[in-house]
């Protein structure tokens, strides 16, 4: 029997919240805020330097939340802000040696668990999942725009 749109949205909303809760539990187990965990995750994963502006654009957290989390991580000696040459005020958020060690025991283990999840699905299923997720997001964003929900 085909599900209704309401039923599909209910299932998707529950799954999204379960996904989010899993990462929030991981952040709490690391003794970090949700935002701070994601900052370390992306800095540790990045191939290039990231600024607070980059983190804001990637993570979609409010700028003040990013700034507060970066400040706390700096007080914990996990990150430093370094000026980027030939820019006005841009500063890269970089891991300190203790931040790198902390990441090895936290966000890198989280990423290993993510890799296990990907490996447990076939490449075809992962391609399908990523494609469908992207398509659904695009359709959802279009619906938000049509209903004037994005400003």
| CATH for 93 | 1.10.10.10
Q: What pLDDT does residue 133 have?
A: 95
Position 12 in a domain: yes
Position 36 in a domain: yes
Residue 94: domain span: 5-120
Query: Per the structure, how many domains does the chain have?
Result: 1
Q: Give the pair of three-digit tokens for residue 88.
A: 């006005």
CA 32 to chain CA centroid, Å, is: 14
Position 127 in a domain: no
**At a CB cut-off of 8 Å and minimum separation 6, what does 27 contact?**
33, 34, 36, 37, 38
Q: pLDDT 10s digit of each residue in the chain, 151 long?
A: 899 999 999 999 999 999 999 999 999 999 999 999 999 999 999 999 999 999 999 999 999 999 999 999 999 999 999 999 988 889 999 999 999 999 999 999 999 999 999 999 999 999 999 999 999 999 999 999 999 999 7
Position 144 in a domain: no
DSSP readout, 26-67?
HHHHTT--HHHHHHHHHHHH-SS-EEHHHHHHHH---HHHHH
Helix (H, G, I), strand (E, B) or coil at 9: helix
pTM of the model: 0.91
Q: What pLDDT does residue 87 have?
A: 86
67 half-sphere exposure, CB direction, 13 A CA radius: 4
Structure letter (DSSP) for residue 137: H
Position 149 in a domain: no
Q: Which helix H or strand E contains 83, and what residues bound it?
A: strand 79-83
Strand pairing report for 50-51 and 79-83 = unpaired
């Amino acid at each position: 029997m085909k599900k209704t749109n309401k039923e599909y949205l209910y299932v998707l909303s529950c799954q999204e919240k379960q996904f989010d809760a899993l990462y929030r539990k991981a952040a709490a187990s690391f003794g970090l805020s949700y935002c701070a965990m994601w900052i370390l995750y992306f800095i540790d994963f990045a191939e290039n330097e990231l600024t607070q502006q980059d983190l804001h654009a990637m993570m979609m957290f409010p700028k003040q939340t990013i700034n507060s989390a970066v400040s706390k991580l700096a007080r914990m000696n996990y990150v430093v802000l370094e000026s980027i040459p030939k820019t006005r005020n841009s500063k890269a958020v970089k891991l300190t040696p203790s931040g790198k060690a902390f990441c090895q025991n936290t966000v890198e283990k989280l990423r290993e668990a993510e890799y296990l999840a990907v490996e447990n699905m076939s490449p075809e299923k992962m391609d399908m999942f990523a494609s469908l997720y992207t398509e659904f997001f695009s359709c959802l964003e279009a619906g938000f725009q049509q209903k004037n929900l994005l400003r």
